[in-house]
Structure 1
Amino acid sequence: MTDVFGKGHHLHLIDGSAFIFRAYHALPPLTRRSDGLPIGAVAGFCNMLWKYIQDGSGSDQPTHAAVIFDHSSKTFRNDIYPLYKANRPEPPEDLRPQFPLTREATRAFNIACIETEGYEADDIIAALSCRARDAGGRVTIISSDKDLMQLVGGGVEMLDPIKGKPIGPDEVREKFGVGPERVVDVQALAGDSIDNVPGAPGIGIKTAAQLIGEYGDLETLLARAGEIRQPKRRQVLLDHAEQIRISKRLVELDCDTPLDRTLESLSIREPEPQPLLEFLTRMEFRTLTNRVAERFGAEPPAAPVPAAAERIAAAKAELPAIDRSLYVTIRDEAVLAEWLAEIVEKGQVAIDTETTGLDEMQARLVGVSLCTGPGRAAYLPLGHVDGAADLFGSGAAVEGQLPLDRALALLKPVLEDPAVLKIGQNIKYDWKMLARHDIRMAPVEDTMLLSYALNAGTHNHGMDELAQTYLGHRCLPIKDLIGSGKAQIGFQQVAIDKAAEYAAEDAEVTWRLWHHFRPQLGQERVTTAYERLERPMVPVLADMEMAGIRIDADHLRRMSSSFAQKMAALEAEIHALAGGPFNVGSPKQLGEILFERMGLSGGKQGKTGAFSTGAEVLEDLAAEGHDLPARVLDWRALSKLKSTYTDALPLHVNAETRRVHTCYSIAGAQTGRLASTDPNLQNIPVRTEEGRRIREAFIAAEGHRLVSLDYSQIELRILAHVAAIPALKQAFRDGIDIHAMTASQMFGVPVEGMDPMIRRRAKAINFGVIYGISGFGLSRNLRIPRAEAQAFIDTYFERFPEIRAYMDRTVAEAKQNGHVRTLFGRRINTPGINLSGPSAGGARRAAINAPIQGAAADIIRRAMIRMPEAIAHLPAKMLLQVHDELVFEVEEAAVPALIEVARGVMQGAADPAVRLDVPLIVDAGQGTSWAEAH
């Protein structure tokens, strides 16, 4: 540690979060050879840190340094404005496991690593900068982030790490048109679409700078807005003054951010060779490991090459490189016949369809690509039009294409031939496109699902990433053909010769991925999981998605109108309770009403001075009996239901089928849970009356009924089985109320006449334990002191010690193998299980939950796979899967038969693969709407 930080000291603050994203996007996808763990961003990050250490930032050496990270996506700014950063997409799946590794890398390089819950990296940088400046030292912020430019001046400068150029007051003035001291005012007016900072509509950086330059500062501008001559600009400022002030609080960095590190503790330290080399070796960064070893005169640790890496290397060397010049364009029947004969002879073909859009229910077929082996690929153009066409496919057909109907008639016998294997990447899409033309491909294999079965949780399973990772090949980007933005064209407008290169390459890459992945199934012991849980889902889900479900759009519109009226009535009630009108959607105004005007307890002000008014705060106040926060919660709930469901669902109705067609992702969640998108029909709320009414809009066709069959407490039943808990198993066999039984076991009270509150507590613990709930989480759920909640959890484990043993056993398995398995053989990788630090608890909880939630997902998948054949004799269709529930549409007279058959399939879904020690119970309901059936 150095002397007290002060004059003569120089602090470097590295924007670690910016480094991570820059490294991720600058480098191609990279995975660790031994286990497929994504490490591309970590590799780039480590190279940046090493360059920083080697360069020492030139002659201007720092005396102190730290790397600053964002802790999480939710910060105090979300309490000020709940929609802050709402537009930002979730981090890519393959980047998430790399976040904790970058922290570990920073510590391995012996550089201080700082992050603070509830605050952004920029706020920590601001607080450290202010403290160092006030102490008389110098600060260099290594980042080009415009949001940090408000800190420049008075001994604080920035350094653009890409250009290597300093950013001082002149550079800030060049960018914003004002000095650093007025950057926040300009940003408040201009807003920020990336961070979803609203600002003043229609005012950009240039106009904002002019206004601030003329009026001096933001408050003066807003106070004198009525003097502005331009009517439109004047009205914008008058109408949006409060929104602009909120925007300022969002962009203004918090120099009072709490810190758990002193400036003195950030003194520069030389890396310690052994821990750094061990980390780099574990990451398999050979080049950097050798450089570091040479720098310190150390011997790098040995890194054995695992069998998996050898297989990948062998696969790359086995086949010749991809050569697009070998591809064929099929323009006549004779050539197509030759290809079809070759496909039949070889007994397999990789296939890919090119279409006018991504919606399989509305897109039109443009072409089909085929591949029978390396270098043997072709493109069959069917729907290309001249360049004057619009995105909807209108325009004159380009010459040199077979008629669509004739080509499909020739393809149909081969694509439906049970002796010919059809291989695709996300083949469900192609299956549906061809099914709309009366071609039902079978049998099929999917390289996306092969990768998912082998590598779930380690990286994404898109073709481009798989090609780069396992074939060392970079696919032609689609943007090179169709462009982007306003200049984007449809694939049908792409010249056939260019389309052939792109499409045939997709087919060949698919074939090569299949050739690479297929032999690994047996070696990694996931053949059964792939063959019985993944591959058969393709036609099942495709049929469900194509069937769709009817909705009553008029009902939803009436609900939207009703919600609007209720919201207006609630606003009036809220205003009356508050003693005057205010913007109910403004967190700042609400906070002032609750904690200043009404003087309610529990108000917590952030560093910007605004009170927190998030859902948890309002729920706590409502539980104390305060009406105003309860009414605001009601208003917010209605607002969300209206925007997310009643307004949005009618927009998804297919004009041709008059139904809503969701899309299920098979290879999304690690545990095997399906995900529903466009629209998401798995999150329709059911706990509130208004939420349940939304399900009333999902209706059966005339003369039909909707039938819902739902597994009862399936995850608790699986827990009882896998943890071998005698008391729980017996209770399930005897049909006893499991929550009452748990309460009786824990609290020593009889089941008969039990206090409902005691049962509720036991229920919360039963479900909470599955998800690794903490004492804090349980205390919030039950609204009891944390110590009491923790005592409940401790008592639970005392009564059911088998659960603790299961948890310890599962974590040990995950640490040793890098994965856990479900009862049905699904492998769920746990890449972060051996990491330390803040992420360790989450990785541990995920590993414990995975075999339980994964087995539940496997069971319903097995039921779905067996269902079409079981109900084939009935006038019924399976329409939806919502977690543990299946929804059917069936003719009224066949409802009893459908329930009997479907219930039998679902309750027997675990056998004969696995015989559970507890029975599976399925509840059934039926009605004209989903609400009636559930």
Structure 2
Amino acid sequence: MADQKQHLYLVDGSSYIFRAYHRLPPLTDPEGTPVGAVYGYTTMLWKLADDLDAAHGPTHLAVILDKDSKSFRNDIYPEYKANRPEPPEDLRPQFPLIRDATRAFSLPCIEEAGLEADDLIASYAREAQRQGWNVTIVSSDKDLMQLIGEVDGARIDMLDTMKSARIYIPEVEEKFGVAPELVGDVLALMGDSVDNIPGIYGVGPKTASKLIAEHGSLTAALDSAEDMKKSKLKERLLEHRDDAEMSRVLVTLKEDCDLPQPLEEMQIEKIPEEPLAAFLEKHGFTSLLKRLGTGSGSPERANNLHPAAAEKAGDAGDVEGNSQPLPDMPKIDRSAYETVQTEDRLKHWAERAISARLVAVDTETSALDAMRAELVGISLALGPNDACYIPLAHGGSDMFDEKPEQVELEKALEILSPMLSDASVTKVFQNGKYDLNVLARYGVEVAPIEDTMILSFDLDAGRGQDGIGGGHGMDELSERHLGHQPLAFKDVCGTGKKAIPFGQVPLDRATEYAAEDADVTWRLYQHLKPRLAIEGGTKVYERVDRPLIPVVAQMEREGIKVDRARLAKLSEEFATETASLEKDIHEIAGQEFAVGSPKQLGEVLFNEMGFKGGKKGKSGQYSTDQSVLENLAKDEEGAPIAKKVLEWRHLSKLKSTYTDALQAQINPDTGRVHTSYSLVGAQTGRLSSTDPNLQNIPIRTAIGRQIREAFVPESGNVLLAADYSQIELRLAAHMADVDTLKEAFANGEDIHSRTATEMFGEVTRDTRARAKTINFAILYGISRWGLAGRLEVEPDEAQDMIDTYFKRFPGIQRYIMETLETVREQGYSETLFGRKTWFPRIKSKNQAERQGSERAAINAPIQGTSADIIKRAMARMLPALEDAGLSDVRMLLQVHDELVFELPEGDVAAASPIIERVMAEAALPAVELDVPLAIDIGTGASWDAAH
């Protein structure tokens, strides 16, 4: 060893502890002590030691821990880390056991009162570097990145085990835009909400990085404020200088601490098996004990995929995700579930759920419509096979039918409600929005919640070979991640005429089905939630999607009033118009036929009338889809009939989808229409709506406006529509860093006119219209042929326009190229808030598939960021209005970039600026945009009038 260069590894043990706690289910050892985090920490440390021994050959290693929650920084700033919650009750007794685990590996475990682990790490790293050693810090903590660098051949780097990535100067510069020695200056400007370091409010990472990179230090950046043009940034830098300077002290690592243990004592020796075996045996870690006995090294890694699907998934963009070691779970045993039929047993389960602090919940109902469904039963799960079903409305529909013993509905909800609303108990659902709505109609509030469907979406949107990650339904997730196929609804209720309602299913069979759903949900949560931190999904899940679930549920319950008489009149008008169009079509064709029949229409167009361009499919039938008719409409001879058929189809669809359907969808109890929003319906994160789909109503046509006129407020109220103006173009200007566009938005210019000036040298009605088409088309990765079709020009001319656009706005071309390069390399795109969208076909040999993926990949970060921003606005909106005393303002709809509210007419003046502010600042503080977000607000006696 004398000839070998010394290499010290310093493990940030505190981060391991919390990762282990949140990654694993609650476990107890033979004495009943909680050990879930201890087990996770042990497996992680074991794997680290095994991997390092095999790959990197460290000579010395120590684990550094925080001794307590206070440090000398609290004397400087009493509010330091004041936002951090107390450790969970079941984690506290595990802290000393985690220290025991470290010592069981015969590894140094170092901590010091009054100092943070980061300070000890910094002091040990610098001392080792002074002695000529190399140092690797095992952590992803950004504060520690200040230490990275080399002095006289002695190098300090970092190892992020979550990503299996080495971090050195290039990685720091890529992340912060500055060298490691200036990271503290950047941190001081941007602050840290987790540690409650103030920084300067409104200055995000990008601005902080830019300021420090331009001026070379925090002091110089702050001094520069005096000479800046008047702006919010200037005001903030001048007003909060003291906060930034104090923050710089708080983020500075103490590099001269007394070292509690000499470096020489950290030398790695072969791990003695006896103390480790004794520790594992004491706490019941039998699977690890077996592996120790066989000398197999680190525990085997669990596979998140169904075993049979693992091989097939190889080309699907790393479908399995990051598989971390998990405790073995027993196979699902439906016979282990309990049917809860008495109040005493129900109280027992409710009390256990409160003690467990985590419970999976599922409801069984009489219908799929949450606004009309009746509650039939509730299932709970507290662990694998530790689940129950609580029947509440079982028995025949006839009053003389014998009903099984079950807890009376009101009494059951009285017993369960305290647990369901207890802030210290996490309730896990699969598609929890539905369950929240059902329970809310019975007066039961549920919070806080987690949702396995949303977890899956935030981790794996688009990841599967089919482009949608294989779906996010419970049965699909169970088969993919647990290798288990749950009972299907038809298995217990039957199909067709012999189908029975769930309330008539015998209790033993109902328990197998319902309790299994809760059991599977609990298991899925244990598999999916840990991946968030490992794969970078925490930000979008915690800051965007999870807070939105109860908000969207409430919007669905609010619904919106529609004018039935107005809809009926529109239906009559549409019926008259379609009949007239049908008559015209028959006259042009010279014969009568069913216009709605693609087969008959194809034969008339291409056989009887002899138009060119007809193509038959495998069935031998001519295609008459939208594109075929649009091409035919360009032909002088075919135009009259093609245009009439397109108009007929459009009116027929609007009639069936809206004016007829909306009347049938009016809820008889509320008198309102309640759309259902899908949180996982669009790959980019946008909400989609069904029953009815309110997002496909034509926006700019006269017919679309007529339909919107039928959406009305209650008497004495008005509707308010708040719409982000050109948000995707604004985000493109920011994300592509296009100064010309940023300047135009900052000055409030008409962006399409500005583009017309840049592109064509003048602004006319025609050039502005062309510029508008090009602005949006470029962001969707349009081809020369696609643009030629939209502008009705030759492909070469369209290509010239694209070339000119990129010449005028080179940042857009650079953004497109870099985005495609990144997606091809890592398989996914990412929004400003960390939402990943996977594109497994981005390298497909099939040109159509590949180009389709490329177009989607170009737009996904922009459209996804837009979706994230409006979601953040929605989550903040009602609390902001309530704080202002405007609790009568109700948020009803979200359609594309628009939010629709209903409110008393007298509240419009007070509510409008609050709505505008919340929407304009929705990205903050997580993301600071270089362009302002503009919001158009209108009010009226109908949705159309407000638009």
Q: Residue 892 of structure 2 is aligned with which of 876, 879, 884?
A: 879
Match of 2:60 in 1: none
TM-score (norm 2): 0.63
Match of 2:671 in 1: 658
Match of 2:366 in 1: 356
Distance 1:648 1:310 in 2: 42
Match of 2:524 in 1: 513
Distance 2:359 2:880 in 1: 30
| Pair 1:811 & 2:816 matched | no
1:416-438 Cα deviation digits (max 9, x unpaired): 11111111111111111111111
Q: Which amino acid aligns with 1:854?
A: G
Q: Is the 8 A contact 2:788 2:797 kept in 1?
A: yes
Match of 1:482 in 2: 493
Alpha-carbon deviation of 1:362? 0.9
Q: Is the 8 A contact 2:370 2:434 kept in 1?
A: yes
Alignment of 1:5-24 (within 5 A): none
Partner SS for 2:476: helix
Q: Is the 8 A contact 1:329 1:500 kept in 2?
A: yes
Match of 1:842 in 2: 852
1:227-258 Cα deviation digits (max 9, x unpaired): xxxxxxxxxxxxxxxxxxxxxxxxxxxxxxxx
Q: Residue 403 of structure 1 is aligned with which of 401, 408, 411?
A: 408
Alpha-carbon deviation of 1:763? 0.8
Match of 1:293 in 2: none
Match of 1:821 in 2: 830
Alpha-carbon deviation of 1:801? 1.7
| Pair 1:449 & 2:487 matched | no
Q: Which amino acid aligns with 1:401?
A: Q
CA distance 1:768–1:323, shift in 2 (3 Å): same
Match of 1:718 in 2: 731
- The Cα RMSD (Å) is 2.9
Q: Is the 8 A contact 1:312 1:470 kept in 2?
A: no
CA distance 1:667–1:323, shift in 2 (3 Å): same
Q: Is the 8 A contact 2:322 2:535 kept in 1?
A: no
Q: Which amino acid aligns with 1:322?
A: I
Match of 1:696 in 2: 709
1:423-476 Cα deviation digits (max 9, x unpaired): 111111111111111111010111111111111112211111212222222212
Distance 1:568 1:521 in 2: 56
Match of 2:262 in 1: none
Q: Which amino acid aligns with 1:530?
A: Y
Alpha-carbon deviation of 1:568? 2.8
| Pair 1:430 & 2:435 matched | yes
Once the two structures are overlaid, the 10-residue window that deviates more, 667-676 or 833-842, is 833-842
Distance 2:461 2:878 in 1: 27
Distance 2:839 2:631 in 1: 36
Q: Is the 8 A contact 1:603 1:611 kept in 2?
A: no
Q: Residue 909 of structure 2 is aligned with which of 884, 896, 903?
A: 896
Alignment of 1:50-449 (within 5 A): 312=323, 314-315=325-326, 318-386=328-396, 389=397, 396=401, 398-449=403-454
Partner SS for 1:514: helix
Q: Is the 8 A contact 1:811 1:844 kept in 2?
A: yes
1:270-322 Cα deviation digits (max 9, x unpaired): xxxxxxxxxxxxxx9999999xxxxxxxxxxxx99x9996964733x522222
Q: Residue 930 of structure 2 is aligned with which of 917, 925, 931?
A: 917
Q: Which amino acid aligns with 1:552?
A: D
1:197-251 Cα deviation digits (max 9, x unpaired): xxxxxxxxxxxxxxxxxxxxxxxxxxxxxxxxxxxxxxxxxxxxxxxxxxxxxxx
Distance 2:945 2:310 in 1: 64
Partner SS for 1:318: coil
Distance 2:671 2:514 in 1: 32
Q: Which amino acid aligns with 2:391?
A: P
Q: Is the 8 A contact 1:366 1:491 kept in 2?
A: yes
Identity of aligned residues (%): 50
Q: Residue 870 of structure 2 is aligned with which of 860, 869, 885?
A: 860
Once the two structures are overlaid, the 10-residue window that deviates more, 370-379 or 715-724, is 370-379
Q: Which amino acid aligns with 2:729?
A: L
CA distance 1:836–1:621, shift in 2 (3 Å): closer
CA distance 1:526–1:645, shift in 2 (3 Å): same
Partner SS for 1:519: helix
CA distance 1:423–1:618, shift in 2 (3 Å): closer
CA distance 1:288–1:455, shift in 2 (3 Å): closer
Alpha-carbon deviation of 1:369? 0.8
1:3-35 Cα deviation digits (max 9, x unpaired): xxxxxxxxxxxxxxxxxxxxxxxxxxxxxxxxx
Q: Is the 8 A contact 2:322 2:534 kept in 1?
A: no
| Pair 1:566 & 2:577 matched | yes
Q: Is the 8 A contact 1:467 1:474 kept in 2?
A: yes
Partner SS for 1:314: coil
Alignment of 1:537-552 (within 5 A): 537-552=548-563
CA distance 1:682–1:396, shift in 2 (3 Å): farther
CA distance 1:369–1:812, shift in 2 (3 Å): same
Q: Is the 8 A contact 2:307 2:483 kept in 1?
A: no
Q: Which amino acid aligns with 1:475?
A: P
CA distance 1:789–1:736, shift in 2 (3 Å): same
CA distance 1:828–1:616, shift in 2 (3 Å): closer
Distance 1:310 1:773 in 2: 31
Q: Which amino acid aligns with 1:371?
A: A
CA distance 1:606–1:336, shift in 2 (3 Å): closer
Q: Is the 8 A contact 1:370 1:379 kept in 2?
A: yes
CA distance 1:311–1:565, shift in 2 (3 Å): closer
Partner SS for 1:457: coil
Q: Residue 941 of structure 2 is aligned with which of 923, 928, 931?
A: 928
Distance 1:844 1:886 in 2: 30
Alpha-carbon deviation of 1:687? 2.5
Q: Is the 8 A contact 2:306 2:483 kept in 1?
A: no
Q: Residue 501 of structure 1 is aligned with which of 507, 512, 536?
A: 512
Alpha-carbon deviation of 1:518? 1.8
Distance 1:708 1:866 in 2: 17
Q: Which amino acid aligns with 2:430?
A: Q
Distance 1:845 1:880 in 2: 29
1:636-678 Cα deviation digits (max 9, x unpaired): 3222221221111111111111111111111222211111011
CA distance 1:590–1:414, shift in 2 (3 Å): closer
Distance 1:675 1:928 in 2: 25
Q: Is the 8 A contact 1:605 1:611 kept in 2?
A: yes
Distance 2:306 2:512 in 1: 35
CA distance 1:437–1:606, shift in 2 (3 Å): closer
Once the two structures are overlaid, the 10-residue window that deviates more, 619-628 or 443-452, is 619-628
Partner SS for 2:816: helix
Distance 2:946 2:516 in 1: 48
Partner SS for 1:828: strand
Alpha-carbon deviation of 1:923? 0.6
| Pair 1:745 & 2:758 matched | yes
Distance 1:552 1:286 in 2: 54
Q: Which amino acid aligns with 1:411?
A: L
Distance 1:586 1:337 in 2: 60
Once the two structures are overlaid, the 10-residue window that deviates more, 456-465 or 721-730, is 456-465
Q: Which amino acid aligns with 2:906?
A: A
Q: Is the 8 A contact 1:349 1:372 kept in 2?
A: yes
Q: Is the 8 A contact 1:481 1:494 kept in 2?
A: yes
Consecutive unaligned residues of structure 2, counting only runs of 5 or more, are 1-304, 464-468
Alignment of 1:718-797 (within 5 A): 718-749=731-762, 754-797=763-806
Partner SS for 1:422: strand
Q: Which amino acid aligns with 1:932?
A: A
Distance 1:589 1:403 in 2: 59
Match of 2:482 in 1: 471
Q: Which amino acid aligns with 1:545?
A: E
